[in-house]
């Protein structure tokens, strides 16, 4: 799950104040530095994030470890004990450690502590378990904590809202935020990638098409970094297959298919056009996304099926 680790680290490095306030549960925190965790390794595994902050006139460390699934080898308490002990040895500062679980079913059995109960040698190391599915996502959207917004599709939706509608609300909020285009592009690229942990690709592609954000996502430095990372990993494994092109083509194919389905559905609802109608086969062969967008608008606006056919023939 290196892709999701990279996204999480990128967002923390860009918005450390938001993550420090979120995990500590308070706003009166001054971020002093984001520590380069490349230098902090425990058995060749580096911690996800260390932020040095000032809180109550004291310097402390905020440690965030991101998990997509439950850690079993070794169990999460053992891993966290290693990370925390290493950070204490390295920096000698109080440390506030958190495990942030991304998938809804992950982290349920994490006790939040490592304990050794031996006579004369007791050890107790505690950390906080944060399961995103238990966080009220709408509150985060409204709070405007920039670094957390890409994670909102993984959070708890409003009462009574179905998951697909929640994802669309999150993406729409990210798309319409009044921030620089480059930041918005990274927002959306991160959000779309993280959404793959929970949502079907067809659902994500359909919302991308409706919101018209594919080109913006391609502009994102985060998207380019991820595709570059994937390319390098594939090269190391001897799998040079042009991953960036494959990723874009796969996403565009999903968007194209959803657009075709939307056009056919509109024609069926408005003009009772059956699946066996010759127009269905013609529409299904169209590759140009821009053309499909024009046809979808026409399907909604034209007075009858004959008028739609004239648009298609044009």
CATH number at 39 reads: 3.40.1350
| 214 and 291 share one domain | no
Identify the domain boundary among 90, 116, 134: 134
| 232 and 304 share one domain | no
Residue 250 domain-assigned (yes or no): no
Residue 194 domain-assigned (yes or no): yes
| 182 and 139 share one domain | yes
| Mean pLDDT over each residue of the chain, to the nearest integer | 84
Looking at residue 38, its pLDDT comes to 55
CB 167 within 8 A of CB 195: yes
Residue 249 domain-assigned (yes or no): no
Stated pTM of the model = 0.72
| 16 and 119 share one domain | yes
Identify the domain boundary among 114, 134, 154: 134
Residue 287 domain-assigned (yes or no): yes
| 8 and 80 share one domain | yes
For residue 14, pLDDT beyond 60 = yes
Looking at residue 20, its pLDDT comes to 94
Looking at residue 254, its pLDDT comes to 63
Domain of 76? Answer: 1-134
Identify the domain boundary among 177, 206, 241: 241
| 161 and 234 share one domain | yes
pLDDT tens by residue, 252-296: 566 677 778 878 888 888 888 888 888 888 888 888 878 888 888
For residue 69, pLDDT beyond 70 = yes
| 197 and 267 share one domain | no
| 95 and 216 share one domain | no
Could you give the number of structural domains in the chain? 3
């Amino acid at each position: 799950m290196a892709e999701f680790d990279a996204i999480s680290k990128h967002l923390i490095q860009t918005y450390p104040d938001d993550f420090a306030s979120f995990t500590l549960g308070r706003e009166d925190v001054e971020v002093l530095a984001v520590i380069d965790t490349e230098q902090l390794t425990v058995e060749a595994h580096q911690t996800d994030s260390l932020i040095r902050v000032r809180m109550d006139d004291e310097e402390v460390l905020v440690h965030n470890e991101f998990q997509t699934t439950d850690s079993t080898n070794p169990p999460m308490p053992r891993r966290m004990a290693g990370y925390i002990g290493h950070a204490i040895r390295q920096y000698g500062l109080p440390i506030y450690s958190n495990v942030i679980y991304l998938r809804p079913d992950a982290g349920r059995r994490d006790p939040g502590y490592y304990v050794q109960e031996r006579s004369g040698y007791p050890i107790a190391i505690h950390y906080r378990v944060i399961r995103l599915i238990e966080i009220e996502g709408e509150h985060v959207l409204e709070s405007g904590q920039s670094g957390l917004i890409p994670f909102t599709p993984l959070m708890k939706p409003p009462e009574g809202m179905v998951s697909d509608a929640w994802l669309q609300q999150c993406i729409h909020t990210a798309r319409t935020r009044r921030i620089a285009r480059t930041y918005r592009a990274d927002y959306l690229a991160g959000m779309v990638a993280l959404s793959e942990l929970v949502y079907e690709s067809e659902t994500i592609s359909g919302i991308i098409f409706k919101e018209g954000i594919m080109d913006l996502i391609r502009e994102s430095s985060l998207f380019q970094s991820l595709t570059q990372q994937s390319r390098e990993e594939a090269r190391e494994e001897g799998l040079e297959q042009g991953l960036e092109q494959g990723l874009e083509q796969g996403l565009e194919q999903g968007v194209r298919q959803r657009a075709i389905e939307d056009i056919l559905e509109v024609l069926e609802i408005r003009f009772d056009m059956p699946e066996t109608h010759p127009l269905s086969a013609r529409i299904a062969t169209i590759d140009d996304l821009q053309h499909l967008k024009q046809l979808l608008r026409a399907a909604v606006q034209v007075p009858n099926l004959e008028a739609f056919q004239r648009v298609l023939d044009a």
